[in-house]
A and B are shown apart, each in its own frame.
Chain A
Amino acid sequence: MLDTLIFVVLPYAAIALALFVTPYRYFKNRLDWSAFSTQFLERRKLYWGSIPWHYGIVIVLAGHLIGFLFPSAVQSVLSNFSLLIALESIALSLGLLALVGSVILLIRRTSGIVRAVTSYSDWIVLLLVLNQAITGVYMGVFARWGMEWYLHTAVPWLYSLLTLNPQIGYVSELPLVFKLHVAGAFLILAVLPFTKFVHFLFLPLDFLKDPPLLYRWASRREKKVVIGETKKI
């Protein structure tokens, strides 16, 4: 029953929410789409929280994605045992970095001026990411070779979700900590459109190719947004 909830109901509900509510919020009102940085108010703790957290989690999350997208290629890479040990150690240290960062970020919210500007949604966001970091690091330490078994359990189960034929047999025998990790991940997806999690949907990359100056002309209808069309400074 609990397995069905975590591995079937929650994922589909979360994906539905993320898929439909996110564009709704995007088109309805973007005035509150922001990363809601509080660095302006408090920067010392943020430095030690935000940087470890983000650099840790971005790389670890990218690892999850690569494993999901190219399972067979990753499998062949991991068949080299020393490489597996190396990658696993790197992943664990990045996980620890993220864990330390998220704990600092959480502590930072409990006092001073930052507490005064903290909303419920900030607490939900932080507790969810802390859960991911704790359960992730726990598995890294006590359920070794996660990179390897991830490919044979979670990945096929995720594909079965995608093909609308959920096979929870792949994952139902795994320990509780894994289930917490999965439940947390889909809860994050579920609350994504309602919280500042939306900020990871808009990693800015356009500016890399743009010339620096951006003009907007109301009078030139044919090209309302003209980016530095005459001057490339």
Chain B
Amino acid sequence: MDVRAQLVMVFNLDKCLGCHTCSIACKNIWTDRKGAEYMWWNNVETKPGAGYPKFWEDQKRYKGGWVLKGNKLKLRAFSKLSTLLNIFYQPHMPKLEDYYHPWTYDYAKLYESPEESDQPVAEPISLISGEKIDIEFGPNWDDDLGGSPLYAEEDVNLDERRIVTNFGSIFMFYLPRICNHCLNPACVAACPQRAIYKRGEDGIVLVDQNTCRGWRFCVTACPYKKVYYNWNTGKSEKCIFCYPRTETAQANACAHSCVGRIRYVGVVLYDADRIEDALKVKDEELVEAQRKIILDPRDEMVRRAAKENGIPDSWLEAALKSPAYALIKEYELALPLHPEFRTMPMTFYIPPLSPVLAVHRAIHDVEEHEEVPDKDLLRVPVRYLSKLFSGGNERVVTEALERLVALRKYMRARNVGENPDEDSLRKAGLDAESAERLYRLLTIASYNERYAIPTLHREYLDVASSEERKGGKGFGISIGPRGGL
């Protein structure tokens, strides 16, 4: 047993209202720079939809992630030899237009324009070339258009197109995405320069800006398309899990700013020795295999092994309080995004029930019945959810939904003074006590309950290199990045 710790984020999709506050918080802190205009380390997509960059889930197009060939895990896009042969040109990499062409408006024109009979107009100009452009696509171009055939049909997870053309059965929900800080990161494996690494202490995956040479294999390899190429610095960048904040026990900017309070961050212990075996199973078994390597922080043996591995007591303490552990393992509510890409992603999603009061084929019946509908009546098809969150395993999705429905029914009955039905609660694997705890966690949990983040131990900090970096601005901001003549 090789126990390691990882900071994990959980998203409660039931509560995401698609306000993009997280994206803006992230943008303002990290990617408000030349070359990074088009990057959204945190983005929120409307599902069903093509996403950002367009069609990122379609690995026939982008060749991201791993595949299981026989008994071996291989990168889908490149072997080592073909990495060298393709170093002069990346055949599968997304281009700028697959994200969008970043723009601003020529506001100066509003002031400089001479007196005319018409109002002057601030025309859109490219943030890259400064030339006038026509805006044809942008981030969240399809925001809230999950019900429209035009955009929803482009979703690769949607095998039943009829669903989006039939008004009665359309549905949508939001999917906020950051880097998954995977346990088997394809970007790390694909980098020929070895510039991307996983931090041993907290599992955060980072691009070393000093080592990166801009070969861009990571951009292709990441199946979530969460590594971005900065055309200005000539290097790759990605979500850094706000490590300067988490190191000091603050929540990530996206999580901290979340209006719907849908995000949870906590420590999860896992067994690094069993990662490989857990990935060599069928698509449908991946979620359960991943759950198995997540370890119980109360288990004495785990604690002993963790201490031997140098995991500090404060981190074990935090693991006990971890909302992430509770939601992923104890209550088995949170599921990984596209486990079939086999990177073993370490952010998790509680599948959405909503809209609870507008069920499939019977939009207003529920109100008449004064009840929370059965999971079979829910508007978001389980099959669709299973394609997103469980490699096609409908059972694990159903179990999570059932638990949520049972919890809702139970709490509703308590609130309106009816006899709460503990039987169905038990059938869903909960009891009165756990229902109370889960209810609190999913609704009124305070900041410290939602974010149980331990500080990074100061004695681990590399003092020499932090001195070196003092005054530096990172990401090549302080230096003209084009370099040279």
Residues of A that sit less than 8 Å from B by CB: 29-41, 43, 46-47, 50-51, 53-55, 112-113, 115-117, 119-121, 124, 191, 194-196, 199, 202, 204, 206-208, 210, 212-220, 224-227, 230-231, 233
Chain B residue numbers with a CB within 8 Å of A40 are: 93, 95-96, 216, 229, 231
Q: Give 12 A-B contacts (CB < 8 Å), ordered by A residue.
A: A29-B479, A31-B479, A32-B479, A116-B130, A204-B192, A207-B192, A213-B189, A214-B191, A214-B197, A215-B197, A218-B200, A231-B275
CB-contact partner of B88 in A32, A51, A120, under 8 A? A51
Determine if A43 and B95 form an interchain contact, defined as CB atoms under 8 angstroms apart: yes
B136: shortest Cβ distance to chain A, in Å? 14
Chain B residue numbers with a CB within 8 Å of A215 are: 197-200
Asked whether B248 is an interface residue with its Cβ less than 8 Å from the other chain, the reply is no
Bound CA span A40–B473, Å: 25
Bound CA span A54–B86, Å: 11
Bound CA span A76–B231, Å: 48
Bound CA span A34–B482, Å: 9
- Output the nearest chain B residue to A39 by Cβ-Cβ distance: B90
B470: shortest Cβ distance to chain A, in Å? 15
CB-contact partner of B233 in A32, A212, A225, under 8 A? A32
Bound CA span A104–B310, Å: 56
Number of interface residues of B (CB under 8 A): 67
- Output the nearest chain B residue to A38 by Cβ-Cβ distance: B231
Centre residue among A38, A219, A226 by max chain B CB count within 10 A: A219
CB-contact partner of B80 in A199, A207, A225, under 8 A? A207
Determine if B184 and A218 form an interchain contact, defined as CB atoms under 8 angstroms apart: no
Asked whether B461 is an interface residue with its Cβ less than 8 Å from the other chain, the reply is yes
- Output the nearest chain B residue to A120 by Cβ-Cβ distance: B485
Bound CA span A216–B210, Å: 15
Name 5 extra pairs, CB < 8 A, besides A213-B185, A215-B199, A230-B2: A38-B231, A39-B93, A47-B89, A112-B129, A219-B200
CB-contact partner of B484 in A53, A121, A224, under 8 A? A121
Given contacts A113-B126, A116-B131, A219-B460, contact A36 B188 (CB under 8 A): no
Asked whether B272 is an interface residue with its Cβ less than 8 Å from the other chain, the reply is yes
Asked whether B279 is an interface residue with its Cβ less than 8 Å from the other chain, the reply is yes
Chain B residue numbers with a CB within 8 Å of A212 are: 75, 188-189
Determine if A233 and B73 form an interchain contact, defined as CB atoms under 8 angstroms apart: yes
A102: shortest Cβ distance to chain B, in Å? 13
Nearest 4 A-B pairs (CB), nearest first? A34-B234, A116-B129, A32-B483, A212-B189
Chain A residue numbers with a CB within 8 Å of B279 are: 233
Determine if A218 and B461 form an interchain contact, defined as CB atoms under 8 angstroms apart: yes
Determine if A213 and B184 form an interchain contact, defined as CB atoms under 8 angstroms apart: yes
Asked whether B11 is an interface residue with its Cβ less than 8 Å from the other chain, the reply is no
Chain A residue numbers with a CB within 8 Å of B430 are: none
Determine if B200 and A216 form an interchain contact, defined as CB atoms under 8 angstroms apart: yes
Determine if B189 and A218 form an interchain contact, defined as CB atoms under 8 angstroms apart: no
